[in-house]
Amino acid sequence: MTATISLVPPRLLGADTMVPCVDGRSRRYVNLDYAASTPVMAAVWDAVEAFVPWYSSVHRGSGLKSQVSTAAFEDARDTVAAFVGGRADDAVVFVRNTTEAINVLATALPAGTRVLSSPVEHHSNMLPWRRHDLRLLPFTGSPDELLDACERALQEARPRIELVAVTGASNVTGEVWPVAELAEIAHAHGAQLFVDAAQLAPHRPVDMAAAGIDFLAFSGHKLYAPFGAGVLVGDARPLRESEPLLHGGGAIELVALDDVIWAGAPERHEAGSPNVVGVVALAAACRALLDLGMEAVAAHERALAARMWDALPGVPGLRRLALWSDEVDRVGVATFTLEGVRHPLLAAILSAEHAIGVRHGCFCAHPLITRLLGIPDAEVDRLAAELRAGLRPALPGAVRASIGLGTTPDDLDRLVDALHEIAATGSRSHYVHVAGLDEYHPAP
């Protein structure tokens, strides 16, 4: 039985946008791509509009606007830390997005740091660790299996693992990971825990101090503040003892012709003129979500997601991809294939004929997608060889529908109705395959 949807969601810009479809009619756009980027929350836009007349350079500016901008920028650190339950001595480093945040941390750690991660990660939480001594957990079938595998890996590692780096919630299958339990296991073996919270922070309450999370990163563009800001929050010690990812102004105390004295954390990791407007927007989104209450947000989205998950199995030929069983808590993501319809074509039909925006492909998680789709290693090797040869083979993939605070029950019903129609009768129009992009466009 589907839970009651009771939260009054905040106003999001563009919620009533009408878009043209191939039949000549305009329909209200259904945004089911929240896991990629969220719309702008009206409260965030209001905060940006109020701030912009006062926008100026931050730090060391003597003018009043510089002082106001600096205060807004620095106050945002406290707001963001409060949103994720950071500790009083945690550093809050503002960056462009989660990807940059992870690269900042990976650069700050000593060369050869021993890192334990998993094969289900977004590429942003996989590739930066390859500069170190990276070990991967196996694919697991449940949270308990994950915890057991992590325990074994940490026990057997010689020398010991120093950092465990995992997702907070999968961007492909939505499973929420047991980060508090992982933190306890990591700490028992002398390791710290980093959590990629890009998909977790917008949808579930996060309390770093209570859960024992040492480092955490997330992005404004997934938190209803798509103005180009992200954040790394965590233990300041390694961040103030290392060279930064970016070298430049603002990150230093003194530069001589043959020497440099870096600033402390977080400043040494914020070289160049920062994105003050993006940081103000990110802080405004955190405040708005705190006012709503993240427990209430989670309950609201669980009810919406249940409606989607309950209905999708009724579509003939649809296969939903999941790593763990449905009893596990998961954010509002549904990734699926439809028999007989390639993923780029299915996404194109949903857009052009039904005004439904979804994501298709591998979602920056190639190892996980190939595992879920059962792609043999030999096929992966063939695709890699063709790509290295300069060819553009059609890659395997799926379609992902993801929800957020602007999603309505009608949105989900429209998705399910459209999929039923496509499964039964196919597309209404003819589509042209653009081979170089592996995309489909409606024929003129």
Q: Residues 30, 35, 37, 39: what is their CA dihedral angle, to the nearest 10 degrees? A: 50
The residue whose two tokens read 């549904």 is: 334
Q: Where are the alpha helices (DSSP H) in 326-399?
A: 343-354, 366-373, 377-388
The residue whose two tokens read 């459209």 is: 418
Please list, residue by residue across 206-234, b when 16 or more beta carbons sit within 10 angstroms of its beta carbon and e when fewer do.
bebeebbbbbbbbbbbbbbbbbbbbbbbb
Q: Give the relative orientation of helices 179-188 and 143-156 as an angle to the nearest 10 degrees.
A: 20
Catalytic residue among 150, 286, 362, 364: 364
Answer for the pair 320, 313: CB distance below 8 angstroms, yes or no: yes
Answer for the pair 204, 174: CB distance below 8 angstroms, yes or no: no
Using DSSP bridges, classify how beta strands 26-28 and 30-31 pair: parallel, antiparallel or unpaired: unpaired
Answer for the pair 197, 170: CB distance below 8 angstroms, yes or no: no
Prior bond to 9 cis, omega within 30?
A: no
In DSSP terms, 254 is beta-bridged to: 261
**Separation CA 38–CA 222 (nearest Å):** 5
The residue whose two tokens read 């390694």 is: 238
Using DSSP bridges, classify how beta strands 356-357 and 30-31 pair: parallel, antiparallel or unpaired: parallel
Answer for the pair 355, 27: CB distance below 8 angstroms, yes or no: yes
The residue whose two tokens read 């990812």 is: 245
Question: 3-state class of 160 per DSSP?
Answer: coil
Order of strands, sheet of 230-235, starting from the edge strand that comes earlier in the sequence: 90-95, 230-235, 215-219, 192-196, 163-167, 114-117, 133-136
364 belongs to the catalytic site:
yes
Give me the active site residues, please.
364
